[in-house]
Structure 1
Amino acid sequence: MRKVVITGGSGLLGPSVVQEFLDHEYEVINAESIKPDQPLCRTVITDLTDLGQVYGVLEGADAVVHLAAIPVAYSHPNEVTFQNNVMATYNILEAAEHLGIRKAAITSSESSYGIVFSKNGLEPQYVPVDEDHPQLPEDSYGLSKIVNEQTAEAVHRRSGMQIVSLRLGNVISPVKYENFPSFIHDASKRAPILWSYIDSRDAASAYRLAVEKDGLGTAALNITADDTSMDIPSKELMTSQFPEVTDIRGPIDQYQTLVSNEKAKKLLGWKPVHFWRDHVSLQ
């Protein structure tokens, strides 16, 4: 049985990722600062900013999946968000390398493009936004994600460890679909995230594939659903909220995502299968 350590397994996304690996016959350890409401596997209370504790919890693992972080900008003082997110990721990859772990998947974010938490009205340079779009954050959260991706590249260069950074869209656990009727007809809502979303179960399968596939080196991949979270065609969304963005690089005549997931599909053989329209009545 393969052993994977998942950090942050008690959070919003964590239970889906833990369950995904359990369903595929992994031994799973949840490295967390808090115990989950409903335990799915053994939890080891761990301070990920303490390198010694990270060595301890990763010992014997075949792979590590790093979810734990302060998940948004401005919920904590800027320096706290930056230090926590950067040092936890550094410690995970540093310890994994020296313990001989050859596969890691870490959590990046669409926030790294800078639009999500911009206080200056940053707009996308083109849509759908792909992984080549400039990363222009002004907040410490988005900046921490860029640093973490660079840390992954540095560790790969010196060790050859495969490290995949998943740039997640807005994670939606199944229970959160009940909130959709409150915003799906208002283009002004959720515009900073380009109306993106990803079901937690689809995100979970991407993490599993990221540590099962070989030959990826380092890669940063957008993980979003194929559609937007709105009952408004994508072209109308852009015309309403970002009329000056005229560089359109893919079809947006229906409800297509405005954050491209094509690279993840190609490299991982992944595809999302859970969509909000299957859970929400449009009546």
Structure 2
Amino acid sequence: MKKVVITGGSGLLGPAVIREFLDHGYHVVNADIKKPVEELCQTVIVDLQNLGEVYGVLAGADAVVHLAAIPVAYSHPNEVTFQNNVMSTYNILEAAGNLGIKKAVISSSESSYGVVFSRKGLEPAYVPVDEDHPQLPDDSYGFSKIVNEKNADMIHLRTGMQVVSMRLGNVITPEMYSNFPSFINDPEQRKVIVWSYIDARDAASAFRLAVEKDGLGSVALNIANDDTSMNIESKTLMNTIFPNIPLKKELTGYETLLSNEKAKRLLGWQPVHEWRKYVTVN
């Protein structure tokens, strides 16, 4: 039985990722600064900014999935967000690489493109936003994700460890679908995330597949569902909010504007939890 350490397993996305690995026969350890609401597996309380503690919790692991982070901009002073997110990721990758762990998956973000938390009203350069889109954040959260992706490149070059950086869209847990009626018909809401979302269970399957797939090197992947989170067709959303933004493909329905094609191609991944399965549309 392979052992995977999941950091931040007590957070929003953590339980879904833990369940995914448990359901597929892994021995899972949750490494977090707090106990989870529901104890799905062993939890080890760890300060991820302490490199020695990180070595301790990763010892004997076959893979590490790094979810732990301050998850948004401006919830903490800028330097606190940057230090926490960068140093915890550095320590995870440094320890994992030196311990001979072969697979790591880290949480990056669509915020790295710069639109989400922009204070200057940055708009997408084009849609669908793919992994080649410019990364131009003016906040320490988005910038920390870029640094972490570069850290992944560095540790792969040095040790050969495979590191997949997941540029997650807005994570939605099942209970959060009750919020959807409040915004699905209002194009002004959620425009900074190009109306994207990712069901936590679909994100979890992508994380597992990234551990199981070989030969990926160091790569960043957008993780989003196939559709937007809106009850308005994607072309109408763009014409209403971003009429001058170039379209890289013809829009014919409710398709996602945060491209997930690369993740689907490289991982053999297919999201299945569309929001319409859980929300009544009037």
Give me the TM-score of the superposition, normalised by structure 1.
0.99
User: What is the one-letter code of the residue matched to 1:144?
Assistant: S
Structure 1 residue aligned with 2:88 = 88
Question: What is the CA-CA distance between 1:230 and the residue it aligns to?
Answer: 0.3
User: What is the one-letter code of the residue matched to 2:32?
Assistant: E
Structure 2 residue aligned with 1:278 = 277
Question: What is the CA-CA distance between 1:250 and the residue it aligns to?
Answer: 1.8
C-alpha separation in 2, matches of 1:252 and 1:88: 39
Gaps of 5+ in 2: none
Question: What is the CA-CA distance between 1:55 and the residue it aligns to?
Answer: 0.2
C-alpha separation in 1, matches of 2:212 and 2:28: 15
User: What is the one-letter code of the residue matched to 2:42?
Assistant: R
Structure 2 residue aligned with 1:265 = 264
Structure 1 residue aligned with 2:109 = 109
Structure 1 residue aligned with 2:241 = 241
Question: What is the CA-CA distance between 1:253 and the residue it aligns to?
Answer: 2.5
Structure 2 residue aligned with 1:174 = 174
C-alpha separation in 2, matches of 1:54 and 1:252: 45
Structure 1 residue aligned with 2:132 = 132
Mapping for residues 16-31 of structure 1, pairs under 5 Å: 16-31=16-31
Question: What is the CA-CA distance between 1:150 and the residue it aligns to?
Answer: 0.0
Structure 1 residue aligned with 2:249 = 250
C-alpha separation in 2, matches of 1:209 and 1:253: 29
SS at match of 1:71: coil
Q: Deviation above 3 Å: which 4+ runs of structure 1?
A: none
Kindly provide the CA deviation profile for residues 166-210 of structure 1, in whole angstroms up to 9, marking residues without a partner as x.
000000000000000000000000000000000000000000000
SS at match of 2:206: helix
Kindly provide the CA deviation profile for residues 200-228 of structure 1, in whole angstroms up to 9, marking residues without a partner as x.
00000000000100000011000000000
Mapping for residues 28-67 of structure 1, pairs under 5 Å: 28-67=28-67
SS at match of 1:64: strand
User: What is the one-letter code of the residue matched to 1:57?
Assistant: V
C-alpha separation in 2, matches of 1:45 and 1:28: 14
Structure 2 residue aligned with 1:206 = 206
Structure 2 residue aligned with 1:149 = 149
C-alpha separation in 1, matches of 2:52 and 2:69: 18
C-alpha separation in 1, matches of 2:187 and 2:103: 40
SS at match of 1:56: helix
User: What is the one-letter code of the residue matched to 2:263?
Assistant: A
Q: How many pairs were matched up?
A: 282
C-alpha separation in 1, matches of 2:99 and 2:242: 48
C-alpha separation in 1, matches of 2:221 and 2:168: 8
Aligned CA-pair RMSD: 0.5
Paired residues of 2:98 and 2:159 also in contact (CA < 8 A): no
C-alpha separation in 2, matches of 1:132 and 1:26: 33
User: What is the one-letter code of the residue matched to 2:4?
Assistant: V
Question: What is the CA-CA distance between 1:241 and the residue it aligns to?
Answer: 1.0
Kindly provide the CA deviation profile for residues 219-248 of structure 1, in whole angstroms up to 9, marking residues without a partner as x.
100000000000001111111111221x21
SS at match of 1:163: strand
C-alpha separation in 1, matches of 2:259 and 2:251: 11
Paired residues of 2:173 and 2:200 also in contact (CA < 8 A): yes
C-alpha separation in 2, matches of 1:159 and 1:87: 19
User: What is the one-letter code of the residue matched to 1:275?
Assistant: E
Give me the TM-score of the superposition, normalised by structure 2.
0.99
Kindly provide the CA deviation profile for residues 43-86 of structure 1, in whole angstroms up to 9, marking residues without a partner as x.
00000000000000000000000000000000000000000000
Structure 2 residue aligned with 1:79 = 79
C-alpha separation in 2, matches of 1:140 and 1:251: 34
